[in-house]
Structure 1
Amino acid sequence: MNNIERRDAGLPYISDAEVLEQQKPARRLTQALNTADRSDFDKIGAIVKELLGKSDGAFINPPFYCDYGFNIEVGKNFFANYNCTILDVGKVTIGDNCQMAPNVAIYTAGHPVHPDSRNSAYEYGIPVSIGDNCWIGGNSVICPGVKIGNNVIIGAGSVVIKDIPDWAIAAGNPCKVIRMITDEDRKYYYKNNEFDEEAWNDLAARGFAGTENKN
């Protein structure tokens, strides 16, 4: 097996010339994205579409960094804020309606623990998955192999090294579940601050006030 085949099989591999060649298109596109006029939303959106391929309504506030782009699959209405980094050596799968605050990092890439093994130049990529309707707080790091469920909030500054279940609010280093999200949370927009009547009526009119199917 060559190193591209080894990488894609989830085996330890070496970033040789063929592997690096596969990174060139993403490097060109991220450079174009990161130097684009920040007010040219149409151009930014078009570059994001080319970089991520299959996507619907995805938008990224530059700067943004990734290794390949083709190993990132996002659902509808994906949004990543400034300075997001996704090391997509392994597959990164992100569901619908996911938001990432500034400085979020998703790492599928890793290196052996023992220095002799690490200095051999072998590395690896383990997939990461994030479900639908997730919000990842600023300065959070998601490590290789992590699976985050649906409707999850990851608090700012978290380091996620283990799977997080559906409907959880989780935070910390290492990241742990703090509590579960319930229907009672619907009426609040920030801590104990409730939506005002005008906003709540708008939510209700648009189907966001309790008519959703959780399944």
Structure 2
Amino acid sequence: MYERMLAGDLYVALDPQIEAAGLESMQLQDRYNSTGAEQAELRRSLLEELLGSIGEGTTIRPPFRCDYGSSISIGSWCFANFGLVALDVAAITIGDHVQIGPNVQLLTPTHPIDPDLRRAGWEAAEPITIGDNVWLGGGAIVLPGVEIGADTVVGAGAVVSRDLPAGVVAVGNPARVVRDVR
């Protein structure tokens, strides 16, 4: 099931290997989220252990929550404010110089429409890609399979359900482009 999950196929999350990976991730997150601001080196070390990759100068303020962490790649000089939730059943790729407001959610999991499949515990996921120099306003939600182009601004509380091109401002639910950034 773990291999199916990583491949983006339908899988059942109640697999022992998947549960073990999730438990290990939660333990690292608990350690990270209990650190104080004066423990910058420990925080960095925990993020390096938890995440697939993290660039130079990147800061994530606790609390931070994810499914596994290993499917998250964050570029250099990014900042994520309090309360980031990044459900990384599929890959989450974040470029350089990305600003993430408080309580942003990056959600890769999907669930079948068919009630019998849902009841049986089947799920899947689609990756999220966030380009360089993007700003996600507080409370924004990015849904499975979305790609956000470089230099784009997503307004606070927006729900991004479709790809956004580079260099635009998008707001609302669902997020819609309202203007270019320049």
Which range, TM-score by smaller chain? over 0.9
Q: Which amino acid aligns with 1:157?
A: G
What pairs with 1:30-179 in structure 2 (closer than 5 Å)? Answer: 30-55=29-54, 56-179=56-179
Query: What root-mean-square deviation, in Å, do the aligned CA atoms of Structure 1 and Structure 2 show?
Result: 1.1
Go from structure 1 to structure 2 and tell me whether the alpha carbon gap of 1:110 and 1:73 turns closer, same or farther (over 3 Å shift): same
**8 Å Cα contact 1:67-1:88 kept in structure 2:** yes
**8 Å Cα contact 1:74-1:94 kept in structure 2:** yes
How many correspondences in the alignment? 180
The C-alpha deviation readout for 1:6-47, integer Å capped at 9, x for no partner, is 111111000111111122321111000111123423322222
**8 Å Cα contact 2:73-2:92 kept in structure 1:** yes
**8 Å Cα contact 1:48-1:59 kept in structure 2:** no
Residue 145 of structure 1 deviates from its aligned partner by: 0.2
Q: Counterparts of 2:47 and 2:122 in 1: how far apart (Å)?
A: 30
The C-alpha deviation readout for 1:117-151, integer Å capped at 9, x for no partner, is 21110000110100000010001110000000000
The C-alpha deviation readout for 1:34-72, integer Å capped at 9, x for no partner, is 111234233222222222242222211000000111100
Aligned to 2:2: 4
Q: Counterparts of 2:152 and 2:50 in 1: how far apart (Å)?
A: 26
Q: Counterparts of 1:50 and 1:116 in 2: how far apart (Å)?
A: 38
Query: TM-score, normalised to structure 2's length?
Result: 0.95
SS of residue in 1 equivalent to 2:85: strand
Q: Counterparts of 2:73 and 2:39 in 1: how far apart (Å)?
A: 24
SS of residue in 2 equivalent to 1:151: coil
Q: Which of 5, 14, 39 does residue 12 from structure 2 map onto?
A: 14
Rg larger in structure: 1
Q: Counterparts of 1:59 and 1:49 in 2: how far apart (Å)?
A: 12
**Of the two structures, which has the highest relative contact order with CA contacts closer than 8 Å and spacing of 6 or more?**
2
The C-alpha deviation readout for 1:177-197, integer Å capped at 9, x for no partner, is 010011xxxxxxxxxxxxxxx
Q: Counterparts of 1:53 and 1:106 in 2: how far apart (Å)?
A: 16
- Structure 1 window deviating more from structure 2 (105-114 vs 80-89): it is 105-114
Query: TM-score, normalised to structure 1's length?
Result: 0.81
Q: Which amino acid aligns with 1:40?
A: Q
